[in-house]
Chain A
Amino acid sequence: MESVTIKNVEKTFPNRDNKTFFTVFKDISLDIKEGEFVSLLGPSGCGKSTLLNIVAGLDKPTSGAAYVGETKISGPGSDRGVVFQEAALMPWLNVIENVMFALKKTMDKATAKKHAEKYLKLVHLSKFLHSYPHELSGGMKQRVAIARALSMDPKVLLMDEPFGALDEQTRMMLHKEVQFIWEQTKKTILFVTHNIRESILLSDRIVLMGTRPGGIIKIFPVDLPRPRIPSSPEFIQLEEDIMSILGGEIEKVMREEMGDDFNSKKASLLYGTDSNMGNHI
């Protein structure tokens, strides 16, 4: 297990004309302790996935740097396991081969097989070792992806909206599995989500990110005992606190996407706040 440090990271993308630049976020610093479960929460476009990709080494920061323990991140590596929104399983390999795919570089075949079986057992897929990805449901595929990431025994587990594409029931089940896995392995987990409830349910700390300019708005520590109950008053209070800030951010995003249309009657009814109250009378 290792800590993750993000130091003054900035990310800009060139605009289409290649002359001007669009800043996703700048000057982001964040310390994640060993064994901590941290969620990045924010509206779409705030750069939370980009930040995760920088830690994964798949994107390079424009300035600043991220560290795992003391080591500066310069590219992707097996010390950081990544679970994406899509399971990203190799369609030509069956379940166990997919997990072994991650282990081939460091182990011989027999050890890799044992190892893969162990982690697939952890996500309750022992019955499906020889199924192909297209034969599995979305939730099962995502569990294979989690097993694959964990099997490399990474120091840090990065999860990029891993349950975003799943239905509610499956998601609830996988929340329990992730909590169980986290308690078992005590991995440092960085978890990207846009679901407030999910972030409160799972994490030690919630990092709320905003857009234009992107950055960290506020960090909420979650001091509720586990397992957390979504109907408890503390849970609801925290949810409302976060929503009140996030609501403003979402309005900002909508205003930008809709342009002038934002001031129309329907839009102000749907997204309106105090500022344009009475516009439609």
Chain B
Amino acid sequence: MVLIAIWEIIYRIYSKDTTLFPSPLGSVQQLYIGLFDTGILATALGESMQRIIIGFSMAVIIGGILGVLLGVSKLADETLGSLVIALQSVPSIVWLPIALVVFQGGPGAIYFVVILGGTWAMTLNIRMGIKNVSPILIRAAKTMGYKNTELVWRVMLPASIPSALTGARLAWAFGWRALMAAELIGRGGLGRTLMDARDFFNMDLVVAIMIIISVIGLIVEYLIFSKIEKKVLSRWGLAKNA
């Protein structure tokens, strides 16, 4: 509250010199107009959400499959493993120029960047999870007649759920950042609307969009991931106070 008050005061002081400084009241106003009046923010939000949900799901699926492969097969790990680490250190947004050419500027380019953004974090975490399954569990399952793929499905995968969750969390974070960056350059969504707002010198709208972006981040972090994580950790017996 204090911060918002200080912001409002600074705005009052500078608004005489420039119209480019955003105000908190103006931002909330723009937020309301954009969401309920003209609906530009609502449309943009819908588009971005659709992209991140599809992109995130794809990243989790692809990353999951790759991670299991790297975790289970030594050969795959030795060949693809270092490639994944190399790719992971490249921010996915730098793929956008190539993606724009390949997908001819279509929506595929943005999906591509979002998926790339999340996949590697997911892959590396699942791989870690599978490698860290305690060998005694695998030995025990073997004495109960479990073999090969059953071991992967019944023991390794469930045992690595906690690290898969960390992977998903990171995949979301990377994917979301990649999406915003890609939309600034590409087409549609919150990122594009943000650039449009800047082009019209509507700084209140810029801030309004930033608020939406951070609120979504908060919701996903606290209402979704934190809750699932708490449940999983206590069930797996990893929580400290369980």
> Which A residues have a C-beta under 8 Å from some C-beta of B?
56-58, 75-78, 80-82, 84, 86, 88, 90-92, 101-102, 105-106, 132-135, 148-149, 152
Contacts and interface: CB of A to CB of B under 8 A. Distances in A.
Given A91-B236, A134-B242, A81 B143 contact: yes
B158 A88 contact: no
A163 to B, nearest CB: 16
B170 to A, nearest CB: 22
Interface in B226-242: 235-237, 242
Interface in B122-150: 136-137, 139-146
A77 B158 CA distance: 22
Nearest to A105: B145
B155 interface: yes
A159 to B, nearest CB: 12
A251 B136 CA distance: 31
Contacts of B136: 84, 86, 88
A99 to B, nearest CB: 10
A77 B235 CA distance: 29
Interface SS of chain A: helix, strand, loop or mixed? loop
A56 B139 CA distance: 10
A88 B137 contact: yes
Contact of A80 (B141, B143, B158, B159): B143
20 contacts: A56-B143, A76-B143, A78-B144, A78-B145, A81-B143, A82-B143, A84-B139, A86-B136, A90-B155, A90-B159, A91-B159, A91-B235, A92-B158, A92-B235, A101-B144, A105-B146, A106-B145, A134-B236, A152-B144, A152-B145
Contacts of B237: 91, 132-135
Interface of B: 136-137, 139-146, 154-155, 158-159, 161, 235-237, 242
A269 to B, nearest CB: 39
Contacts of B137: 88, 90
Contacts of A88: 136-137, 139-140
Contact of B139 (A58, A78, A152): A58
Contacts of A90: 137, 155, 158-159
A92 B141 CA distance: 14
Given A58-B142, A105-B145, 5 more contacts: A78-B144, A81-B143, A82-B139, A92-B236, A133-B237
Contacts of B242: 134-135
A149 B236 CA distance: 22
A124 to B, nearest CB: 22
B234 to A, nearest CB: 8
A58 B143 contact: yes
Contacts of A149: 143
A152 B141 CA distance: 12
A38 B242 CA distance: 40
Nearest to A148: B144
A132 B155 CA distance: 16
A90 B155 CA distance: 8
Contacts of B143: 56-58, 76-78, 80-82, 149
